Amino acid sequence: MTITITTPLYYVNDKPHLGSTYTTLACDTYARFQRLQGKKVKFVTGVDEHGQKIQLTAELNNLSPIDHCNNISSLYKDLWNRWNITNDTFIRTTSPRHQELVYKFFDRVNRSGDIVIGKQTGWYCIGCEEYKDVSDSNKPTCPLHLKELEWRDEENLFFRLSKYQNQIESLVSSPTFIHPNSRRNEVVNFVKKGLRDFSISRQNVKWGIPVPGYKGQTFYVWFDALLGYISALIEPGAKIDLDRIEDFGWPASVHVIGKDILRFHAVYWPAMLLSAGLKGPQKVYGHGFLTREGQKMGKSLGNVLDPKELLEQYGADTLRWYLLSDISFGKDGDFQLRRFKDLVNSDLANTIGNLLNRTSTMSRKWFNNRIPTFSENTGNISILENMSKDTIVYTIDRYEAMDFKGVSEKVIQLASEANTYLNENEPWSAIKSKDNRELVGYYIYNVLETCRIVGFLLSPIIPEISLKIIKQLGYKDMPLNWTDDLKWGVLKQGMEIPESMPVFLKLEN
């Protein structure tokens, strides 16, 4: 079985921002976790490159649409490479294979009798590429982009969404489909009001995939872009056969998206797939937005956080830790620079880093640069052994639920307990008596083994720092999976360990 994880296909009207980075980091963490469980993973990301907004942005910059898309798409690819994102594929909706799939999918839906011609009138937001349900007689504005909406009156192709009212109502009511629960309630209420057919094409929009057989019509950007999740899975050169897409990893195990595009993924997209006779995604996870110091980020406010600059200044793992440990995934979060520095210094430098550094130093000093050895009957079962076993079970469950904050808190609690254990047993005092040598070795081993488990459990979130932890314990690399190694007592007694080095240097305030 393949675990298929997708980010949104990011819209290339502008360079990547912290919000898209946050989503991608979460998906990367989940993908790393699943691989460590020994599962086959397809981690999909990419860009959505069609639509009127792209066309207008390119014109403002005196570029052709494709040149604009090439520039912005390369920024995304470069940024994900710098952040060590482990995606398996990157799809561009301007690729020939994507266009071929769109045509084949449209043909299926058309043959299902679900495409009709109709009139579309109403207020339209170019930024959202969406008609807005407003009744104001004056020119209303988009609540997201705060720009005036356009009035449109045009003939388009429509998808018969209303035909799938019962199936979609049943789907969105399922407790396993939409996460978190608060998002599900929003969609359930929307669907209960009655689904209306929606337009899948636009008139006189030059930058898009032309609808075959309908002159002057291009596919609505959402109808086109959602299919990128499937075209991304079809390997280059492979025949595009919708009857065989399960061979490539469809359906998606989880679509991870911002809460603002939940309806498209939880309502429109599953209905389109039903029409084409294909399976829908198993789960849709709508996470919250990021603000900065309590304010919405925007160019006009001059408070936009550039992920490339943050990466260069602070490093990937530092930011991964803050974004994933301090913000409950699914809820809105606020980036606060002072809290960011205080949190990573406390957790990574003090609680974890200092624990490992001082314990491995004692081990090298008293046990000939090695992990201590001791007999089986030395000491009672350590509180750290029991707590580590509980932490392993708990964190695996929380990773599955994409509760990265819950994972982080539990593992930090384990590391804090190890610090307490060390302080209470005072091996630096006990070692003064030769009779206590084995008991001191037992104390040191328990703490080092706890550090190993901490490193393993946090490796999906902070892979570089976790690898430093593992190497400081004498291992050359992180294991390929947790099946054999994520349990108590694996650390080899007597194994040589290198000189202690800080795994994380404190950030200056």
Each residue's pLDDT expressed in tens, for the chain with a length of 509 residues: 899 999 999 999 989 999 999 999 999 999 999 999 999 999 999 999 999 889 999 999 999 999 999 999 999 999 999 999 999 999 999 999 999 999 999 999 999 999 999 877 777 776 666 677 776 556 688 766 667 787 777 789 999 999 999 999 999 999 999 999 889 999 999 999 999 999 999 988 889 999 999 998 999 989 999 999 999 999 888 999 999 999 999 999 999 999 999 999 999 999 999 999 999 999 999 999 988 887 776 665 667 789 999 999 999 999 999 999 999 999 999 999 999 999 999 999 999 999 999 999 999 999 999 999 988 777 777 899 999 999 999 999 999 999 999 999 999 999 999 999 999 999 999 999 988 999 999 999 999 999 999 999 999 999 999 999 999 999 988 877 788 899 999 999 999 999 988 999 999 87
Q: Distance between CA atoms of 5 and 8, rounded to whole angstroms?
A: 10
Q: What angle do CA 27, 31, 36 make, to 5 degrees?
A: 150
Residues 373 and 454 in one domain: yes
Q: Are 446 and 383 in contact (CB under 8 A)?
A: no
Domain-embedded: residue 115: yes
Q: Which domain holds residue 41?
A: 2-288
The pLDDT value given to residue 292: 86
Residues 284 and 144 in one domain: yes
| Residue 276: CATH number of its domain | 3.40.50.620
Domain-embedded: residue 329: no
Residues 153 and 217 in one domain: yes
Residues 117 and 16 in one domain: yes
Domain-embedded: residue 311: no
Q: Are 76 and 226 in contact (CB under 8 A)?
A: no
DSSP state of 348: I
Omega before 251 cis (within 30°)?
A: yes
Q: Cβ of 323: how many Cβ atoms within 10 Å?
A: 23
Output the six-digit token pair for 408.
């982080």
Q: Are 88 and 27 in contact (CB under 8 A)?
A: no
Q: Distance between CA atoms of 287 and 329, rounded to whole angstroms?
A: 6
Q: Strand, helix or coil at 250? A: coil
The pLDDT value given to residue 408: 98
The residue from 250, 267, 288 where one domain ends is 288
Domain-embedded: residue 101: yes
Domain-embedded: residue 54: yes
Q: Distance between CA atoms of 498 and 364, rounded to whole angstroms?
A: 8
The pLDDT value given to residue 137: 58
Q: Cβ of 121: how many Cβ atoms within 10 Å?
A: 10
Q: Distance between CA atoms of 198 and 171, rounded to whole angstroms?
A: 19
Q: Distance between CA atoms of 435 and 27, rounded to whole angstroms?
A: 52
Q: What angle do CA 312, 464, 347 make, to 5 degrees?
A: 85
Residues 68 and 209 in one domain: yes
Residues 236 and 365 in one domain: no
Structurally, the chain folds into a number of domains equal to 2
The pLDDT value given to residue 143: 67
DSSP state of 329: B
Q: Are 117 and 157 in contact (CB under 8 A)?
A: yes
150-159/198-199 β-pairing: antiparallel
The pLDDT value given to residue 305: 85
Residues 378 and 271 in one domain: no
Output the six-digit token pair for 389.
């076993």
Residues 238 and 350 in one domain: no
Domain-embedded: residue 483: no
Residue with tokens 């397809």: 42
DSSP state of 346: I
Q: What angle do CA 393, 397, 403 make, to 5 degrees?
A: 130
Residues 278 and 364 in one domain: no
Segment (H or E) for 191: helix 181-192
Tell me whether residue 136 is exposed, middle or buried, using C-beta atoms within 10 angstroms of its C-beta: 0 to 12, 13 to 18, 19 or more.
Answer: exposed
115-125/130-132 β-pairing: antiparallel
Residues 372 and 431 in one domain: yes
Q: Distance between CA atoms of 248 and 231, rounded to whole angstroms?
A: 10
| Residue 375: CATH number of its domain | 1.10.730.10
89-92/40-48 β-pairing: parallel
Q: Are 431 and 357 in contact (CB under 8 A)?
A: no
Expressed in angstroms, the distance from the first to the final Cα of the chain is 47
Domain-embedded: residue 327: no
Domain-embedded: residue 239: yes
Residues 170 and 247 in one domain: yes
The residue from 266, 288, 310 where one domain ends is 288
